[in-house]
Amino acid sequence: MKPQVEIGTFKHQGREFSALGSVVDHENGHVVGYPKGHELRTWDGTRVLGTLVVRSSWPTPHSHTGSRMYAYHAMIDGRAYYGRGFGDGMLLRLRAYK
């Protein structure tokens, strides 16, 4: 199965910017997406990639990124993934369970 790759593009003050959005690469065991509640979504939020469960969380008081870190378990296309992130709307990188 070929990786699914999303390119996020937006305009700001008349200039167009593009960046890598979400990625689902089952062959290499990598997924990148954006949490929203119990769903993992694409960068633009229009498509659900899979489901998420928060396994645990802990404070990160000296972090510039967020005040709390979350450990996630995800199911994407029937495959299990895990990773850590800073919550809703923040980029989340996941790896496949071995």
Model pLDDT for residues 61-86, shown as the tens digit of each residue: 887 767 899 999 999 999 999 999 99
pLDDT of residue 75: 98
Nearest to 52 by CA among 68, 71, 39, 65: 39
pLDDT of residue 62: 82
Q: How confident is the model at residue 19 (pLDDT cuts 50, 70, 90)?
A: confident
Amino acid, single-letter form, for residue 36? K
> Is there a contact between 87 and 66 (Cβ–Cβ < 8 Å)?
yes
pLDDT of residue 9: 84
pLDDT digits (tens, 9 = 90+) for 20-48: 889 999 999 999 999 999 999 999 899 99
Domain with 65 in it? 4-96
What's the structural domain count of the chain? Answer: 1
Please enumerate in sequence order all residues whose Cβ is within 8 A of that of 16, keeping only pairs 6 or more positions apart, or say none: 9, 10
Nearest to 41 by CA among 33, 51, 53, 32: 33
pLDDT at 10 over 90: no
Residues written for the chain? 98
pLDDT of residue 1: 72
pLDDT at 57 over 90: yes
Cα gap 33→69, rounded to integer Å: 16
Cα gap 44→29, rounded to integer Å: 22
